[in-house]
Structure formats: C-alpha cells, structure tokens
C-alpha cells in the first residue's frame, strides 16, 4: 500500500478534521482503498492515537488547529498500526503539512519522530479498547450495559472491514448464492461475507437483482412483521429508505405502501427496488402526517435515530455525537414519538405495529415503547418469541423485545445493535 498517495491522504485529513470539528456524519465508504483503510484505522483507534500523541504535545492544540491534529492522527495511525516504513510515514505527514500548515512542519515532524522512537523501543503502552469510545457515550452506556459487554462492543468497533450481509429475495436459493458469493450462511436467507469485499456493485450477481445489502439485525423487524401477518397483508412502511425492509416485505408477497420524507432517500429507494425488480406505492411525505385511506394489517416504523448501533460500520458516529453541544436525543425522541402516535391511526384493530431503531440508547428503544404503552391503552406489547428469529436467542429480552448488540455472534463478525418491539392494537 503506497503511503505517498497525496490525494487520498488529503481526503482523509479533511474528513478527520471534520470529525474533530463536530461536523455532521459523513460516509467513509467512498473513495479508494487507501483512503478507506487509513481513515478507518484512524477513526476506529482515535482514542488510542490521541492518547499516544498527546504525551508529546506540551501545549494543547486549539480548535482552529484541528487540521494539524488530524495530520498527526493520520501519521500516527500509519506508524502504530500499518505495515509501512515508519520514517516514510513521518515524511508523508511532513509533506502534507507543507501544504496546509507550513508553520507547523517542524512541530509535526518532531512529534511523529518521537512516536517512532518509542514504537521501535517498544515503549508504547497497551490500552483498554474502551478508550476508543468517547467518555460521554461510555458514561451513558454504563447505566444499562455492563463493563465486560462494553469491552466487547469496543473490540467489534476495531474490526476492518466489518462483516457484510447479503439479504436474498425469498425466491432465491441461499446455498447457490452462498457458493457464488463465497460467503457463509448466517440465519435464514442471509449470506455473510467477511473478506475485503471492495465495491458492492462488483460482487457477483449484483446486476441480477436477487439480493441487497442489509445487516442481519436490520432484517429482523421485517421478519417479525412477516411472522405476524397472513399472506397478501396490507402493510405501511413509514420510514422506508433505503429500501431493504420494503424489499423483504415485497418479496414475501405483501402489499406495501412505502413512505419516505426525504426526496434524495426516496430516489435511492426507487433505484434499489428497480434493480431488484420490485414495485411499491411510494409516497414522499412526512410519515407522521400521512393519512391512510385504508387501515393496515401492520405498520412498520424503522425510526430515525442516533444510529449508535451501527458503530461497526460507522466508527465516526460516536465521536460526532459526543461533540454536539446539545443532547443528540433532543430532536430524535420527539420525532420517534410523533411517528408512533401517527401509526396508531394507520393500523386496524387487532393489527400489528413494529417499532425498531438501530440504536443502543434505551431512551430510543425500551423507554420509548414503555412510555407509549402507558399513554395508549388500546395497544399492548405482543412478545416476540425465540422461534421467530434466526439469530441468537440471547436477543430476546424478558419483556419480549429484541435487543441486539454489536458483539452478538462475534465469532461470525458481530451485527448491528438494534431494538425491536411488536405491539398489537387491541381495539
């Protein structure tokens, strides 16, 4: 892997600076292999890297000097975790500094050369993997996740690349596709790829429209819905993009109305379904304001959330959330609540409401549903049982919810953290 890929280093530099500045989430799944690799390591091990370089910085860098800090982070990630010539890594950071911060070339050179000396003399301290998760997040999670499980989450967060799940159409043969894709069957109609898979559209069969990318945990809300209704049921998918859950429902011959408020995401959904040769009635509108002409047999809400459960694939998300001045839940909780309230008017009596979030926050999951039940006497929890899921039974809580964590099935590469509840409208 070449370390003199200037453009890739510059892209990674700008992305890490953006992260340190607390800018909104950006995908790291674009760009060339070098960019994704160096950025992935730098962010996944950000806590460790900052700890090590901070030892050599006598005066803390200011907020407007984050580009200097970002350069140090990239250089340190190569020195500590990549198989590259150490001083060549230093020189690459120095050359980059000449372009964006020429007055700090000597400073960056001195810091990184000291790091090299300590590395080569084996004077680098082993650190708890929890250091790579911001304190603000750790302190939140400690209220409902024990320390041993927190460390498991932190270890999953370090894996590059994260495992990739292929969800198959209900009509496809999982054994044949498993062989074609050189993967491993994980659950029902799911294939897991653990190798460096490169570009998704380069994978075998992408253009055939027989499969789509969807984490195995993200498949569970639709699977629970499918086990709750009869064939040809009428379903409303309230937050449908990018379309994985809609695709699951359609390939199982349900009648689906898909609602998406964001026009760009709605376009993505349309394109995904077109590739899969599937059609849905798509409505581009705020789902909380949607008025259905026909009450649904089931309503699915995969609600907008903090996405903290996706830390395996989005290692930057926890750092971005931790830099926000206001709690990241301030806008999310009312939005989720409004979607739940709207759904009560869409589902028919004896109908099913599925609520899910890819979040590890109890406020967005368990607490949200408990509060909803207290306020809506015509809804009750319909417990999910072990026979309805195709992953570890550990995911079923005593209340009958599903709660997955990134370290579940860690021997196979883990999964996203999800909360899922099934509610029934009693009258």
Whose structure tokens read 């950006």? 26
- The 3-state DSSP class for residue 185 equals strand
Residues 101 and 171 in one domain: no
Tens of pLDDT, residues 352-365? 999 999 999 999 99
Tens of pLDDT, residues 210-248? 999 999 999 999 999 999 999 999 999 999 999 999 999
Q: Is pLDDT above 80 for 372? A: yes
Mean pLDDT of 331-344: 97
Q: How confident is the model at residue 27 (pLDDT cuts 50, 70, 90)?
A: low
Domain boundary (213, 241, 271) is at 213
Residues 98 and 237 in one domain: no
Can you give the pLDDT at residue 306? Answer: 95
Tens of pLDDT, residues 44-62? 999 999 999 999 998 888 8
**Residue 261 domain-assigned?**
yes
Query: Over the chain, what is the mean pLDDT?
Result: 92
Can you give the pLDDT at residue 35? Answer: 82
**Residue 239 domain-assigned?**
yes
**Residue 182 domain-assigned?**
yes
Instruction: Please give the Cα distance from 37 to 9 (Å, whole number).
Output: 11
Residues 225 and 313 in one domain: yes
Give the DSSP per-residue string, 40-97. Answer: HHHHHTHHHHHHHHHTT-SSPPPGGGHHHHHHHHHHHHHHHHS-S-HHHHHHHHHHHH
Distance from first CA to last CA of the chain, Å, rounded? 63
Do the beta carbons of residue 382 and residue 133 sit within 8 Å?
A: no
Residues 95 and 179 in one domain: no
Q: Is pLDDT above 90 for 267? A: yes
**Residue 119 domain-assigned?**
yes
Q: How confident is the model at residue 2 (pLDDT cuts 50, 70, 90)?
A: very low
Residues 200 and 261 in one domain: no
Residues 191 and 276 in one domain: no
Q: How confident is the model at residue 22 (pLDDT cuts 50, 70, 90)?
A: confident
**Residue 155 domain-assigned?**
no
Can you give the pLDDT at residue 37? Answer: 85
Tens of pLDDT, residues 311-326? 999 989 999 888 775 6
Domain boundary (107, 127, 147) is at 127
Instruction: Please give the Cα distance from 338 to 333 (Å, whole number).
Output: 9
Residues 55 and 119 in one domain: yes
Instruction: Please give the Cα distance from 190 to 394 (Å, whole number).
Output: 19
Residues 245 and 354 in one domain: yes
Do the beta carbons of residue 128 and residue 152 sit within 8 Å?
A: no
Can you give the pLDDT at residue 333? Answer: 97
Residues 180 and 64 in one domain: no
Domain boundary (77, 100, 127) is at 127
Q: Which domain holds residue 53?
A: 6-127
The number of CA neighbours under 13 Å toward the Cβ of 143 is 9
Can you give the pLDDT at residue 25? Answer: 55
Domain holding 239: CATH number? 3.40.50.150
Tens of pLDDT, residues 137-194? 999 999 999 999 999 999 999 988 889 999 999 899 999 999 999 999 999 889 999 8
Domain holding 201: CATH number? 3.30.70
Domain holding 81: CATH number? 1.10.940.10
Do the beta carbons of residue 41 and residue 73 sit within 8 Å?
A: no
Residues 183 and 327 in one domain: no
Looking at the structure of the chain, the number of domains it has is 3
Residues 65 and 209 in one domain: no
Give the DSSP per-residue string, 250-316. Answer: HHTT-EEEEEES-HHHHHHHHHHHHHTT---EEEES-GGG---SS-EEEEEEE-----GGGTTT-TT
Tens of pLDDT, residues 106-148? 999 999 999 999 999 998 988 999 999 999 999 999 999 999 9
| Bridge partners (DSSP) listed for residue 396 | 402
**Residue 50 domain-assigned?**
yes
**Residue 137 domain-assigned?**
no
Whose structure tokens read 């055939």? 208
**Residue 135 domain-assigned?**
no
Percent of the chain with pLDDT over 90: 78
Residues 200 and 117 in one domain: no
Q: How confident is the model at residue 83 (pLDDT cuts 50, 70, 90)?
A: confident
């Amino acid at each position: 892997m070449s370390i003199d890929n200037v453009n890739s280093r510059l892209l990674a530099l700008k992305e890490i600076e953006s992260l340190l500045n607390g800018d909104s989430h950006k995908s790291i799944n674009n760009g060339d292999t070098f960019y994704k690799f160096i950025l992935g390591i730098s962010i996944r091990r950000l806590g460790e890297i900052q700890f090590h370089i901070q030892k050599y910085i006598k005066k803390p860098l200011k907020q407007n000097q984050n580009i200097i800090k970002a350069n140090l982070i990239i250089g340190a990630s190569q020195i500590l975790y990549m198989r590259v010539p150490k001083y060549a890594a230093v020189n690459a950071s120095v050359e980059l500094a000449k372009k964006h911060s020429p007055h700090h070339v000597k400073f960056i050179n001195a810091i990184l050369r000291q790091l090299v000396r300590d590395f080569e003399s084996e004077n680098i301290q082993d650190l708890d993997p929890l250091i790579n998760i911001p304190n603000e997040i750790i302190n939140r999670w400690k209220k409902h996740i024990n320390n041993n499980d927190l460390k498991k989450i932190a270890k999953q967060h370090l894996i590059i690349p994260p495992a990739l799940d292929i969800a198959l159409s209900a009509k496809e043969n999982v054994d044949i596709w498993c062989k074609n894709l050189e993967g491993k069957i994980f659950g029902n109609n799911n294939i897991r790829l653990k190798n460096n898979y490169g570009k998704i559209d380069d994978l075998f069969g992408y253009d055939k429209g027989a499969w789509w990318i969807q984490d195995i945990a993200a498949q569970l809300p639709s699977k629970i819905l499918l086990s709750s209704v009869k064939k040809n049921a009428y379903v409303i998918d309230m937050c449908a993009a990018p379309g994985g859950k809609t695709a699951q429902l359609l390939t199982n011959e349900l009648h689906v109305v898909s609602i998406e408020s964001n026009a760009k995401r709605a376009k993505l959904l349309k394109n995904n379904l077109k590739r899969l040769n599937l059609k849905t009635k798509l409505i581009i509108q705020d789902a909380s304001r949607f008025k259905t002409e026909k009450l649904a047999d089931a309503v699915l809400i995969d609600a907008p959330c903090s996405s903290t459960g996706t830390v395996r694939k989005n290692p930057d998300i926890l750092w971005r959330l931790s830099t926000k001045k206001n709690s990241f839940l301030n806008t999310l909780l009312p939005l989720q609540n409004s979607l739940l309230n709207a759904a009560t008017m869409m589902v028919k009596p004896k109908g099913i409401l599925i609520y899910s979030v890819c979040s590890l926050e109890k406020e967005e999951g368990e607490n949200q549903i408990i509060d909803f039940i207290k306020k809506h006497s015509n809804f009750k929890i319909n417990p999910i049982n072990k026979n309805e899921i195709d992953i570890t039974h550990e995911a079923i809580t005593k209340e009958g919810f599903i709660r997955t964590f990134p370290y579940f099935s860690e021997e196979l590469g883990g999964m996203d953290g999800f909360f899922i509840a099934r509610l029934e409208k009693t009258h």
